[in-house]
Amino acid sequence: MSRILIIVMMLFVLAFGFYLGVRLNGGGENRFEKQKKILEAYGLMKQFYVDDVNGDSLAGAGIQGMAEYLDPHTVYLEPEKVSYSQAEFDGNFDGIGIEFDVINDTLLVVTPLSGGPSASVGISSGDRIIAIDSVSAIGITPQQVLKKLRGTRGTKVHLKVLRPLSGKLLDFLVARGKISTSSIDAAFMIGNRVGYIRVSRFIATTADEFRSALLSLKQQGMVRLVIDLRGNPGGFLEQAVEVADEFLSQGKLIVFTKSRAGGAEEERYLAKSGGGYEKGDLIVLVDKGSASASEILAGALQDNKRAVVVGELSFGKGLVQRQIPFSDGSALRLTVSRYYTPSGRQIQRVYHKGSAGRERYYEDAMTNILPQKLFAHPDSLLYLKNGDVVVYKTSSLPSLVASLSGGKEKGNGRLAALRDAGGVIPDYWVTASSYSDFYQRLFQSGSFDDIARRLLDDPQSAAQGYRSSLDRFIAEYAGENRFESLVITSCKAKKIAFDRSGFIRERKEIERAVKSRIAHQLFGAEGQIRFLVQSADPVVKIAVTVPAAQPSQVVR
């Protein structure tokens, strides 16, 4: 690298500080001296470090280091990550139009998207893509699949495909096209009265998708709606606000934000008139994977007493980011404000600064706080107990947690821990017994997918008779007489010790898991969700029966 280019890059790093200060209206008398220090450190590393240092990488690492000092959600994004993330949140990208999975190092076509480039050339569900542009796809990772199959619209990709049932090798030339993605994974009726909508994330098209699904369910006679936000990591705040607005009458507060500097980063979002479902029973499902925009929606509907929240304590992300682009295509996703639910709850979990604090933050997110350990007499909160779940009525917990201030924490260590965990506390907190080690080994090794694939590749399997009808599959498919031998075969292939007593004890759960994978491979993600919801999901069963919320007064 020339000295001139090094000087240019050093000036870029210095300019970054000024740029960020101007963009965020920051300031201070010592700003130049502090930025000069960053510039000097960059120059020293470039000039004296024992090995040659890439200037772009060093600049990026410097920005990332500053970001890590702030909070777990402020991040620096390389140009490739910005491009991929933007396509995901825009709701469309250029590609070949398949839903795929990687099972046993093999790229499986779960389903070609209707009307997409792959469907138009004859690629089918269950096909195995074994080569992409003459390069083997065996052992490919999901990230590599995206990199190889996405590309500029109109460009072509050559696929070599194995069709298992016929044993034929086929060649396809697929022209990449515009692919629209959906954030609504499933929308259907449970029986004649209950509608169900699964929202996987909040992207630019979510509110429009949601309104369309809501209208369809209303036309089918829905009188109770279950919104499933489990595992939804969030997305655009404005989209969550639009969805909430469908259920709240004019003037009700949905969410408000506060920032250090005030101005544009502080806003209050109020419901408008004309929502699509302002009356009618409403249940929201959350778990520890429900974060950010999901928590905005759940918190708004809970605080306004418009919906009952069922499930687990949610993730606890109450920070709002703004993505600030750089000229080279990279970006800084910077926390600019905190959001609050209508009652004033700030649901952000406690975190510590630095890379170690960031790592601990995400580790703590996977730790379950069990409601039965919060009180000396948890049975007083017991709502339901059966062989599948224990349910506690915990709608009183938010006010108790909010009361922990001014020295009132003494003797309330468990509630203080719950407060520090942040998140939306469900009205009905559902806990389930954990699966055995044997079940978890089968799950973690991919054995369920492996057994499903073996069955769908076998012309003699009973599953073959249900390829054309999801409804028949859910209602009639009873499984395989040789199921135990299939599990044993998969265990041998995965080098797992077969636990016969564990298999007998959890056979029903193992069969259900395999059937759900068959549903996914035959009918896509919505087929798998419908199977699980209609045949097995204990949280949905509770959501169908719990008492509805009572409307609140307007919160302004």
- Spot the catalytic one: 288, 317, 393, 515: 317
Distance between CA atoms of 110 and 189, rounded to whole angstroms?
24
Number of helices and strands (H, E) in the chain? 19, 21
Closest by Cα among 406, 450, 424, 461 to 312: 424
Distance between CA atoms of 516 and 455, rounded to whole angstroms?
13
With 0-12 / 13-18 / 19 or more C-beta atoms within 10 angstroms meaning exposed / middle / buried, residue 501 is exposed
Closest by Cα among 506, 494, 484, 489 to 438: 506
Q: How far is CA 533 from the centre of its chain?
A: 18
Torsion of CA 488, 489, 495, 498, to 10 degrees: 0
- Spot the catalytic one: 118, 200, 321, 516: 321
Q: Give the pairing type, strands 382-385 and 268-270.
A: unpaired
- Spot the catalytic one: 118, 182, 292, 330: 292
Q: Are 530 and 474 in contact (CB under 8 A)?
A: yes
Measured CA to CA in angstroms, residue 149 lies from 22, 97, 137, 140, 525 at distances of 40, 9, 11, 12, 20
Contacts of 314 (CB under 8 A, 6+ apart): 286, 287, 288, 290, 291, 294, 295, 298, 347, 423, 424
Active site residue 323: no
Active site residue 292: yes
Active site residue 321: yes
Residue 255 carries which side chain, given as an amino acid letter? V
Residue 110 carries which side chain, given as an amino acid letter? V
Distance between CA atoms of 55 and 70, rounded to whole angstroms?
24
Token representation of residue 504: 């007998």
Task: Give catalytic residue positions.
Answer: 292, 317, 321
